[in-house]
Structures are given as structure tokens and as C-alpha cells.
A and B are shown apart, each in its own frame.
Chain A
Amino acid sequence: MNISIPLIKAMSVVSILILVSYLTLNFFSSNKNLYESKVMEIEEQELINILREILVDTYYERNQEEIKIVNLGNKELRLTIIPANFSITLSREKLEWEINFVVICLNNPCSAHDNDLYSLDKKVVKEKTSSLIPTLNILVNVTVINGIKIYNFFLKHLTTYSSLLLKDQNNIKIETKKIHEKIIRTTLDNITISFAINKKEIYTYPIENNSLVILNLTKIILILENIKV
């Protein structure tokens, strides 16, 4: 009996030590996995798809303001502004604006050609290698009320106020605001309305005499904000 008591004690201590070390290792190991899962890289294409979906939504959502959070992971995200001149020419006047186009790039330098800056169909966000270009989108529909043709042009453009470069691990807050304006013109003669970017005509449309032209302008303001992990 006297021999067995110290042995039991020693075995108890060893068992406790083994249990404590197991629990400690297990604890650190699981925390490590948890931490690693937080910074775990998602596929670049998957992130581009998410961002594109969010940007496309902003063109069609009716909400004036919207906020979404995206885990960027360890990517480098660059938001570059490309200024350009945009003009609408009716027969007797020319309306001009300076427009800030936005290019969003992942792990790549940003660039865009004039042809990439506009779209005439529902593909409002163009995608090039690891970059997204929200375009100036122009759509038209024609209705007739009381015998008068009404040409509805819907011009939507996503812009931002400042460039941005995000590195390391980030969550980004994507916020959008919308401003609408309606510019209406009455035409007495047959004319052609033309739209130009940097003086290069991108789209023309013939307008019959004694018609109404409604330019529905929508400015979507994109604000990207970094939320550090």
C-alpha cells in the first residue's frame, strides 16, 4: 500500500499534465484555425463577381442610398478616376459635362480605353483583366401619348469623388447615393441627338419633328471606405 500511494500520485500528476497540455494544444490549435479562416484568401474571380454584382445592383436598385460590406481579404484594391468630357448635342444646343469614370482594379494597375467607358445595353459594368469599369449607360425607349412621340433616354453613370488604394487585410464598406435629373427638350424639326465622350461620338439617335426628348440623368456616387480587420 505504501509503495502504491506515491505511484498513484505521480500517475495522477502525469495524467493531469497530459490533459492540460492536450487541452492547451487543442485550444491554441483551434484558435489558430479560426484566425487563419478570417484572413483566408477567397478566389480573385469570386471577389470580382461579388463586386460586379454590387455595382450592377446600384444601377438598377431604386433605393437612393445603399451600404454593403465586403471582406476584401489580402487583396490590393485600387480605385482610379479617369476624367473625360461628355456631351449631348441636340440641333440647337450642346450640353457638356466633365465626368469622372471609375475603374476598380484588383492586384493590377488600372487603365481603360474610351470604348470601355460606355455601354448601350444592360451590361452596365464591363470587366477586363482583374478590373471592373462601371460605364456610362445609355438606353432609349420611345412612347407615344396623344399622338406625340416621347423619346426617353436613360443615362446612368457611376462616379466617385476620390481615388483609393487598399492593401493588406480589409473589409470595405461600399456606399452608394443616387441623384436624378430630368432634362426635357421639345423639338420642332427632325434632328439627331448625339452623345460623345472626349469629342468622339459614341451614340446617335434620330428624333422626329414635334416630339419630346426626355433625358433621364442618374448619377450614382460610389463611396468606398476601408474598415480594418
Chain B
Amino acid sequence: MKKLILILFVLILSLPSVNSSSEKEINVERNLVFNIFCIEIQTNFVFIERASPEEAKIYFGGIPYEDSSEIPYRIGDYSLSAWFIDEFKFLLWYSSEDIIIENRFSINTRAILTGGIEEPLPTVTDLTIYSHITLVLLKGNLFLIPYYNNNSIIFGNLNNSQIIIKNKINNEPNFRFLPFENIKIYLEIALNESKPNIRNFVNASTYLSLINYIFNNNLLIKKENQSLKNITVISWEYTKEYEGLVDVEEIITHVYPDSDYELGFSNRTGQAFLASYTLANITWSWCEISYRGYECNTLSKILFEIRVISIYISSALATLEKVYDLGDEFLLKFRLLWVDDLELVLGKSRILAVHVYEMKKSLGESDNKGYINFTLTKEEIAEQFWGISGHLTFIPHYKGGALLEGSIKTFVRLTKLSTVILSNDFRELRIKIIKLSDFSSVRKATIELIIDGNLAQRTITDENGEALLYINRNTFERIEIRVKVEESDEILLNSEFSDIIVYSKIWP
């Protein structure tokens, strides 16, 4: 029993305290994921599926990998090719931004893995970063020649149309989305078809019917009357009848979702595809007197477009870029990074905020350029931070409080500054500014020497964190030092350890 109590006591002692300066070693892994997607186009339907190992493989550096395989990310130049069964046709390669594919439209090419993580990430939990190489195949012996535009593979003869996926709140178009991000899909179809060249017609009319489907393979979520459900397809129809025989010159637009429901992405992270299938049927009908007599005719023109759009769903993390000391408060500037490849989260203005765990509050608002700024007063930091060094924990979440699934906690170091007197003969005062977390020196700290309440000298610390101050009076009652670090990579708190009294004539 005594041994048990002793073991428990040792275990309790070995538990780290909340504000412990010794931080857990965090493992950040970087992996490369291989994706193989095949697109199958059928009448009025587009399937987007993953290829089975029997159907296709990616050869990376001469080694075959099946769909969803994962290997450690290693910087280098690798051969890239694919094997697949005869039923498939090669379309193109996609990759994350840290991988350059020499020729995306060639089955045999090279992939250059360019970057590692240069700076250690201040995450609280272990983290795996995923880069990806995606092979896209076309299934079936369809005689369709694709063309490519931005992140889309396009088939068909309905030129000049476009489909843009935007965030519902800020209206920013994007190809990268957050789990459960609320979206709208903007559809624009441009028609420019000439009427048949007929003269002397009677009872003529022109009729346009148009239908659009968005196939998404459970990638989208429909929110209707407070219920959420995965959907595989959404559609929209449009018809218009014109008087007489007319040229159909129209730009038809539509925005999903309709007003009675909301649309968002699911939480399935990684590479994904949406397919838009648009079918337009223009029918001209008329009656005319020809050499065969009075007869009525119709002419139909069918236009279609199948557009497969590559998107990527990933969560985000916030890392500190800079802390600015504004006097009574700190301005914290965070970068918002995608969890999968640590690129900046662009185009998400007004979507995300940062939750500060220790203060139980949500702060800031994301901008369009991948940054999020907010201020913390020194008073509120002091209220919850009584120690000498520690950290604050941050996690991005949706503005308004909704959790951002898969987001990563990061921390910002927080330490009190301290002034060390290296020498003092009351004429010349040499000091050094250090962080109490590790006693390392702080360069470019602003030092103010105050003698009897008056500012006597202002200077900044050198590369070694040192500064030389001159006491230019023979008599004095009180000498003080004030310290401030205007810009830093962590929260550096001035305190009674840094803003010290060098001398006070308290006696006699």
C-alpha cells in the first residue's frame, strides 16, 4: 500500500503544470498521398469515383501506389507515370502547391517535391501534413475531347459558360474550402445561336429548354429546416419561349442554393471533384410554303457541357507571425494556414475567428489575404497568467462560434522580460534584457532610463540584448528602467522584473 501511495505521489509530481515552461515535444509529419479518380459520363449523369487497385495505379519513383496510398514526403525529383486498364483514358495530373508536375497533361512526366517545413510549427498536438498527387482518368470509350480551364476539365460544345463556387458570406470564389463551409454555386451559361435562315415563314416560334445538374457524390450538404443531409445531385431547369424565329443570344445565370435551403461542403477532407452537367435544347419551329406546298418544320440544336471541377477541402491552423506592443495592449497578427500543406488560407474574409482557450473567448476576423489580427490587453493577460513563462493556446473556428472540424491547436509563447544589471557604478549602467522563459537575450528592446521621474535616456538593445546607459547626475533620489519590445515573435511581457528600480533613496 505504501509503495502504491509512493508511486501515485511520484506520478502526480511528474505531471506538467498548466503554465509549465517545458513544452511537450510535438511531432509534425509530412506525408504524400496518391489519389486516383475516374470520371464516368453517362446520359444525364456524371459519376466521379475512386479507382480500385485492380483498375489503376500511380508509379512514383518507379514504385506503384494505389489510390489513397500514403508515403513520407521527401524533397526530390521523381518519375511519375500511371498504369490503368484499357477501359480508362488518361486526362491529367493534379497536385498540391508544394509539388511541381512537369507536364500535367502527359501520362509520363516528373514530379518535383519542393518544400519541407522550415520553421517548427507551434502546435499543441501531433500533426500530419498531407501533400497530394492526383491522377484523373476518364472511364468508358466516350469520344469526347476535353479542354482545361483553371481547375476544370471541360467536355462539350456549350462554350463561354462558367461555374464559380463562392463562399456564401463574403462572395469570394475559391477552389479550397473548409469543412462544412457554407457555399453558393454561381452558374452562367452564355448562348449565342443563330436562327435558321428561313424566309416567308408563318406560325414561327423559338423554344429554349435548359437543365443543369451538379453531381457531387455526397460532397455537398443540404441544410433545410434545421436538418442536414448529404446530397448527390442538385438540379435547376429553365425554359423560355420566343415570338417568331429568333437568334438565341442569352446569358442565363443561376445561383444554387435556392432560397429555401442552404448548401455547404461536407467534412470529407482532401482532394474532391464536383461535376456540372448542362444541357440546352433550342427548338425553332415554323411553317412555310415551299415547292412541296405548305409544311411545318422544326430544327433543334442541342448544346451541352460537362465540367469537372477540382476542389480541395481542408481545415486550418493559426500561427503567430508577429506581436506588437501597443502600450496597454498587444496586437497579435496570425497567419491562417491550410492544415494539409500550410499554404495561406486566401479568400476567406469574415469567415474565421480565433478562439483563445485560456481566456475562453473568440477574437479577430479573417481577412482575404490569410491573416487574422486582434488585440489582447496586458491586464487580461495578467488576469489569467500569474507565472513567469507559459503559453496561450489558439484554435481557428468559424466566426460566430461554430467549430472548425480538424483545425489544429497552436500556442504562442508568453514570457516575462527581465533586466539584468551587468555593471553599475552609478555613472555608467550596462544592462541586458532577457526572456525569463530561457534566459535568452532580447535584441531591439526599447530601454528608457528615468532619473527622479524624468526621462534621461532612451536606447535600444544590441544583438546581444545589451545596452549602455549614462547616469548624468551626481545626486539622485531614484533611478528606474522601463522596457518595451515593440515587435516580437512571442508575447513578451514587461513586468516588475524588467521595469526595475536601479536605486531608490528609501533611507534615511
Contact = CB atoms under 8 A, between A and B. Distances in A.
A97 B506 contact: yes
Interface string A159-189: 1000000000000000000010111111110
B496 to A, nearest CB: 6
Q: How large is the interface on A (under 10, 10 to 19, 20 to 34, 35 or more residues)?
A: 20 to 34
B505 interface: yes
B508 A93 contact: no
A113 interface: no
A146 B496 contact: no
Chain B CB within 10 Å, residue with most, of A93, A95, A183 = A93
Given A146-B20, A146-B21, A212-B497, A186 B508 contact: no
Contact of A185 (B19, B500, B504): B500
B508 A92 contact: no
A157 interface: yes
A98 B507 contact: yes
A183 B504 CA distance: 8
Interface stretch (B94-102, B112-120, B212-220, B415-423): B415-423
B506 A145 contact: no
A75 interface: no
Given A99-B507, A146-B20, A212-B497, A92 B388 contact: no
A63 B496 CA distance: 23
A118 to B, nearest CB: 14
A219 interface: yes
B494 to A, nearest CB: 12
B439 A184 contact: no
Nearest to A93: B424
A206 interface: no
Contacts of B21: 146-147
B387 A186 contact: no
A148 interface: yes
A92 B422 contact: yes
Contacts of B436: 146, 148, 186, 212
> Interface centre among B387, B423, B434, B504, by most A CB within 10 Å?
B504
Majority-rule SS of B interface residues: loop
Interface in A62-103: 83, 86, 90, 92-93, 95, 97-100
A186 B507 contact: no
Given A146-B389, A146-B390, A147-B21, A93 B504 contact: no
Contacts of B71: none
A148 B506 contact: no
B507 A145 contact: no
Nearest to B434: A186
A174 B193 CA distance: 108
A217 interface: yes
Interface in B220-261: none
Interface string B159-178: 00000000000000000000
A97 to B, nearest CB: 4
A179 B506 contact: yes
Given A93-B424, A183-B501, A188-B420, A146 B508 contact: no
Contacts of A148: 388, 436
A99 B507 CA distance: 6
B503 interface: yes
Contact of A93 (B20, B421, B437, B439): B421
Contacts of A100: 507-508
A210 interface: yes
B424 A159 contact: no
B506 A186 contact: no
Contacts of A212: 418, 436, 497
Given A146-B389, A212-B497, A97 B505 contact: yes
Contacts of B388: 145-146, 148
A183 B507 contact: no
A217 to B, nearest CB: 5
Q: Name which of A86, A92, A98 has the most chain B CB atoms within 10 A of its CB.
A: A92
Interface string A135-153: 0000000000111100000
Contacts of A179: 506
A83 B508 contact: yes
A97 B503 CA distance: 10
Nearest to A218: B506
Interface in B431-446: 434, 436-437, 439
Interface in A191-219: 210, 212, 217, 219
Contacts of A159: 507-508
A145 to B, nearest CB: 5
A219 B503 contact: no
Report, nearest first, the 4 A-B pairs whose CB atoms are least far apart: A97-B507, A93-B424, A146-B388, A186-B418
